[in-house]
Amino acid sequence: MNAIPFKYVIRVFRYLKPHWRLAAASIVVTMLSAAAALLTPWTLKIVVDHVLERQPLPPILARALGTVGTDRISLLVIAVCGGLAVTLLLNSLHVVSNYINTRIDQFITLDFRSQMFLHAQRLSLAYHERRRSGMLIYMINSQGDAPAALIMTVPMLMESALTLVGMLWISFAMDPWIALASLAVVPFLYYSVGYYASHIQNRLQRVLSLEGESLSVIHESLSIMRVIVAFGREEHEFKRFRTQTTHAVTERVKITVRQTVFSLVVNMITAIGTSVVLGIGAYQVIQGRLTVGQMLVVIAYIAAVYKPLEAISFTIGSLQDRFISLKNTFELLDTVPDIRDEPGAQAMQRAKGHLQWEGVKFAYPGRTNTLSDISFEVKPGQVVGIVGQTGAGKSTLVSLLPRFYDITGGRILLDGVDIRKILLRSLRDQVSVVLQEPLLFSGTIAENIRYGRLDATDAEIVEAAKCANAHDFIMNLPQKYQTMLGERGAAVSGGERQRISIARAFLKDAPILILDEPTSSVDSKTEAVILDALDRLMAGRTTFMIAHRLSTLNNADIILVLQQGQLVEKGTQAELLALGKHYKQLYDAQVGLAREKATPTVEQSTAIA
């Protein structure tokens, strides 16, 4: 069984540590169960040999029962009642062990899943961009029970092993040949399990990843529902899902066939073993070396031994599935977050908001020079406008500050401290982000705003909403602050969603603000309302504002112009206009466009006339 990676086994058992009391109880109950199982066939032996055949009782029993033991009917009653008592004991032990084992199983699974969930959240955005989230969901949800499943095979294996030893010992005492014959099948069983394990592992890995893939398809489709509906691509998505899942199902069926053939082989091996033991046993009875009752005990034992042996084989066989899950899940847990606290990183109190970018370089994996050599300085409370064509690197530039990605060269200083020397949590506490597409989750409006500061009171939420010009429209909704939002906030308009996210930023009250084109997807009337709220939000905070409409930058203290990842100009609006280069060109293009829109063209004038 060299296919079993033992390093995983050792690691898995560490999860048992917090539940050691339960584990100890489980071992005790398992031992009692194994002992009780040994008693089971003896009723039959007493009835056959001593009640029916009238053979003398063994000395221990004869002494224990005294004169009662000599009366056949009394002996029959005692044997039958004894048998019933043993069955009752066995079943009671079963109930107890089921309870204990289920608790261990469920709590270990809970611990493990929680650990994976927490870890997945710690991994960087870059990691999540590379991985499909459906796969992660599948891993956490469906493969997260692997450690517990592995641990739970132990009581089963232990009970089987104890029973096996006890039974062989007793059988040996009665007739060594039968005991030896019963063991003859063990190597065959072992070999078939080994064969199964080594031939099926790769297939299982494939099936598991295909099944994860199916979940990814569902997850991705549901998250782009609007696009699917808009393009009427329901049928296309359905086919994609169907094709993918059919592939997974076909592979699963093929594997199940192999597993069934395997179980057939195992059943045949044990059936042969039982037949051989029956043959030898009956022969020994004919020869007078064994009583009928003893033979029955041995046959019962053999059947009882093969059952756990079969179970062990299956468990070990299905363990392959678990080991693959374990490998995947441990790989996830072993993925070191590429953005993490550096040794010696310190927490930071509320920052003043003084920022220095010194020769900052950054590139996404596989791309070169997304940003190159960016240097500028922002004083506390200043407003920085960032302009440039789509793809110039504006969003990337601001996402480096809260360390969504780590820079590859240069440094960024916040209040004179390299941001990599500030505890990540504390750094992110200093920054509020308002995106072009506000991210709201399903829950009430109040809950969405409270996400800015989880311990905020209702009054503070209302206050934040007021500052964000959101209070009035919220009060007009039927459920007011308790209105439920859909997964992406579908129940309210784009401008309203934006104001909810601004209220959230008010509540967070961070000294640095990042506004990534927050008004580019709303009409100009709504824009005015949002800009009014933003003006209030920006007061006293260092603000980065990525702007599409240059008119929103009239009050910026400094404007950065990006072009293909280079900082080509920086200065105030007046300075840049006077410079007459990149910014001026962008400005003229927009002003020209605005004029064109305002003045009807010749054709329009004719049409109006």
- Identify which of residues 384 and 456 has a Cβ nearer to ligand ADP in the complex: 384
**C-beta of 492: minimal distance to ligand ADP in Å?**
26
Which residues here bind ligand ADP, judged by CB under 6 A?
129, 364, 367, 370, 388, 390-396
For residues 274 and 566, which CB has a smaller minimum distance to ligand ADP in the complex? 566
Sequence-distant (6+) residues with CB within 8 A of 9 are: 150
Alpha carbons 568 and 562: distance in angstroms, whole number: 6
Residue in 348, 416, 338, 344 with CA at minimum distance from that of residue 379: 416
Nearer to ligand ADP, 26 or 396 (CB): 396
| Beta carbons within 8 Å of 141's beta carbon, 6+ residues apart | 113
Which C-beta is closer to ligand ADP: that of 29 or that of 386?
386
Output the smallest distance, CB 405 to ligand ADP, in A. Answer: 8
Q: Are 397 and 386 in contact (CB under 8 A)?
A: yes
Please tell me the distance from the alpha carbon of residue 420 to that of residue 358, in angstroms, as a whole number.
14
Q: Which is nearer to ligand ADP, 125 or 184 (CB)?
A: 125
Write the CB contacts of 247 (distance below 8 Å, at least 6 apart in sequence): 210
Q: How far is the CB of 393 from ligand ADP (least distance, A)?
A: 4
Cβ partners under 8 Å of residue 414, min gap 6:
348, 351, 353, 354, 355, 401, 422, 427, 430, 512
- Token pair 């104890």 is found at 162
CB of 527 to ligand ADP, least distance (A): 19
The amino acid sitting at 340 is R
CB of 582 to ligand ADP, least distance (A): 14
Q: Minimum distance between the CB of residue 129 and ligand ADP, rounded to whole angstroms?
A: 5
Minimum distance, C-beta of residue 609 to ligand ADP, in the bound complex (Å) = 42
Nearest-10 Cα torsion for 280, 282, 288, 289: 40
Q: Which of 93/513 has CB closer to ligand ADP?
A: 513
Phi first, then psi, for residue 443 (nearest 5°) are: 160, -175
Minimum CB distance to ligand ADP smaller for 151 or for 513? 513
Query: Could you tell me the smallest distance in angstroms from the CB atom of residue 545 to ligand ADP?
Result: 13
Which tokens belong to 430?
């200093």
Task: Please check whether residue 376 is in contact with residue 410, taking contact to mean a CB–CB distance below 8 angstroms.
Answer: no
Provide φ and ψ at 329, rounded to 5°.
-70, -40
Pairing of strands 512-516, 431-434: parallel
Q: What's 49's DSSP letter?
A: I
CB of 401 to ligand ADP, least distance (A): 13
Residue 130 C-beta: closest distance to ligand ADP, Å: 9
In the bound state with ligand ADP, the residue whose beta carbon lies nearer, of 360 and 422, is 360
- CA dist 351 and 570 (Å) reads 24
- Mapped onto helix, strand or coil, the DSSP state of residue 560 is strand
Nearer to ligand ADP, 145 or 516 (CB): 516
Orientation angle between helical segments 72-122 and 146-174, nearest 10 degrees: 150
Q: How far apart are CA 317 and CA 199, in angstroms?
A: 11
Closer residue to ligand ADP, CB minimum distance, 130 or 199: 130
Q: Which residue has the tokens 């959101």?
A: 470
Q: Check: CB of residue 259 under 8 Å from CB of residue 317.
A: yes
Helices 186-223 and 234-286 sit at what angle, rounded to 10 degrees?
Answer: 170
Nearer to ligand ADP, 315 or 396 (CB): 396
Closest contact distance (angstroms) between CB of 589 and ligand ADP is 16
Q: Minimal distance in Å, beta carbon 127 to ligand ADP?
A: 11
Cα dist. 501→107, 365, 504 in Å? 37, 30, 5
Which residues, including other chains, have CB under 8 Å from residue 33's CB and lie 6 or more apart?
90, 93, 94, 97, 159
Q: Which is nearer to ligand ADP, 126 or 218 (CB)?
A: 126
**Complex with ligand ADP: residue 207 or 374, whichever CB lies closer:** 374
Q: How far is the CB of 562 from ligand ADP (least distance, A)?
A: 6
Cα–Cα distance measured from residue 283 to residue 261, given in angstroms and rounded to the nearest whole number: 33
Q: How far is the CB of 189 from ligand ADP (least distance, A)?
A: 53
Rounded Cα gap, residues 276 and 260, in angstroms: 24
Dihedral, CA of residue 564, residue 568, residue 573 and residue 579, to nearest 10? -130
Q: In the bound complex, what is the minimum distance in angstroms from residue 337's beta carbon to ligand ADP?
A: 17
Q: Which is nearer to ligand ADP, 197 or 400 (CB)?
A: 400
288-320 burial string, b = 16+ CB within 10 Å, else e? eebbbbbbbbbbbbbebbbebbbebbbbbbebb
User: In terms of CB distance, is 274 or 335 closer to ligand ADP?
Assistant: 335
Distances from the Cα of 488 to the Cα of 188, 343, 441, 498, angstroms: 59, 38, 6, 12
